[in-house]
Structure 1
Amino acid sequence: MSQDLQYWKQLKEKNDASAIKYFYDQYIKLLYKYGYHFCQDATLVEDCVQDLFLRLWEKRSSLGDTDNVKLYLMVSLKRSIYEKLKKNSKTTVTEEVPEDTFDVTFTMEEQIISSETDQITKDKLLECLETLSGRQKEVIYLRFYNGFTPEEVSEIMQISNQSVRNVQASALKKMRNNMDDPLLILVVGKLIESFFHEI
């Protein structure tokens, strides 16, 4: 994080082009991946990502302060994608892009579930994750896969901290309710709770 802030300062105060390259190299894959979860139009997502870096460079001297560049970039990209989707759709200016558009196919990675866990448990957990709503998936994606705090998720999703915690809790409850094996309920419940520190 400190390196991010150092480059952010260089970008703002010294017009340092190497700072843009650093952020591009550091976050390009994450931003593309995150963008594709909202919109499967690869061209639109790529345009939004490229526009984001172009705007960073063009407005470098007027950029605000931030203590989390990764968060700043993800919030900016999400806003940009929603604006383009609204512009390209037939909705009126006052209508919002549906909130529940986030979609992701989860995979079991080391930080989510240990390699010692039975494959059946992994498969069942993945199956339950697929039953979640778009909003629930987005919270889990941001919390589990990207390590954001509830406060950071709140900023990205533009909802209150309490709403983030409510969505977390409802996602966990839904997953538990979809488990038909008492042992799986216990094992998976413990695994998930280890990542929801507040629950």
Structure 2
Amino acid sequence: MEQDLHYWKSLREDDDASALKYFYNQYIKLLYKYGYHFCQDANMVEDCVQDLFLRLWEKRSGLGDTNNVKLYLMVALKRSIYEKVKKGAKTSNTGDDVIETFDTGFTMEESIITSETEQINKEKLLQTLEHLSGRQKEVIYLRFYNGFSPEEVSEVMNISNQSVRNLQASALKKMRNNMGDSLILIVIGKIIVNFLNFL
């Protein structure tokens, strides 16, 4: 985090291209992965990610202060994807409701549960995730996979802290009903471990 803030200051104040390179190397994989949860059009996601870094460089002197660069980038990417989808919806006359039905497409990675003896649990998990709404999936992804606080999730999703807590509670309740308390703890633990390894 301190290193992020050091490079963010350097990008804003010193026109330091190495700072942009640092953020690109640090977050490119995460941003692509996050973008694909909102849009399965690989070209669109790639365009949005590249545009994001281009805008960072072009508008570097006007960038605001932040205490969480990772959060800043994820919010900016999500906004960019939504704007492109909305623009595409208007030009194709499909209407603005595309955004309303937009699903994160979140599925647990195969690596989370790999043991053959856990095959039944994996199937239960995937079935359970299918019954979660897009927003419930996003909350679970941001809270337990990315380790964001409810306040940070609120900022990314542009909803109130209470809405975040409600979505998390309802998602975990659905998962608990389908999978049981002990399996939920195992799954969430594995997501957190997976996230720590990803860093």
Q: 1:151 to 1:192 in 2, by over 3 A?
A: farther
In structure 1, stretches of 5+ residues that fail to align are 180-184
Instruction: Look up the match of 1:97.
Output: 99
Structure 1 partner of 2:145: 145
Residue identity in the other structure for 2:37: H
Moved more, 93-102 or 48-57: 93-102
Residues 31 and 49, structure 1, Cα contact 8 Å, conserved in 2: yes
CA distance in 2, matches of 1:150, 1:192: 20
Structure 2 counterparts to residues 177-192 of structure 1, below 5 A: 177-179=177-179, 185-191=180-186
Aligned to 2:124: 124
More moved, 90-99 vs 58-67: 90-99
CA distance in structure 1 between the aligned counterparts of 2:86 and 2:54, rounded to whole angstroms: 21
Report the Cα distance in structure 1 between the residues aligned to 2:72 and 2:36, rounded to whole angstroms: 18
TM-score, normalization by structure 1: 0.84
Aligned residue pairs total 188
**Root-mean-square deviation (Å):** 2.6
> Which stretch shows the higher mean deviation, 94-103 or 40-49?
94-103
Structure 2 residue aligned with 1:13: 13
Cα distance change of structure 1 residues 99 and 76 upon mapping to structure 2, 3 Å threshold: farther
* 2:38 and 2:102 in contact (8 A); partners too: no
5+ long unaligned stretches in structure 2: 191-199
**Please, what TM-score do these two structures have when normalized by structure 2?**
0.84
Counterpart residue type for residue 59 of structure 2:
K
Post-superposition offset of 1:120? 2.9
Matches within 5 A, 1:39-188: 39-90=39-90, 97-98=99-100, 100-107=102-109, 118-179=118-179, 185-188=180-183
Q: Is the 8 A contact 2:86 2:99 kept in 1?
A: yes
Distance in 1 between residues matched to 2:85 and 2:173, nearest whole Å:
32
**Higher percent of residues as helix:** 2
- Superposed CA deviations along residues 16-72 of structure 1, whole A, max 9, x for unmatched, are 000000000000011111111111111111111111000000111111100000000
Displacement of 1:102 in angstroms is 1.1
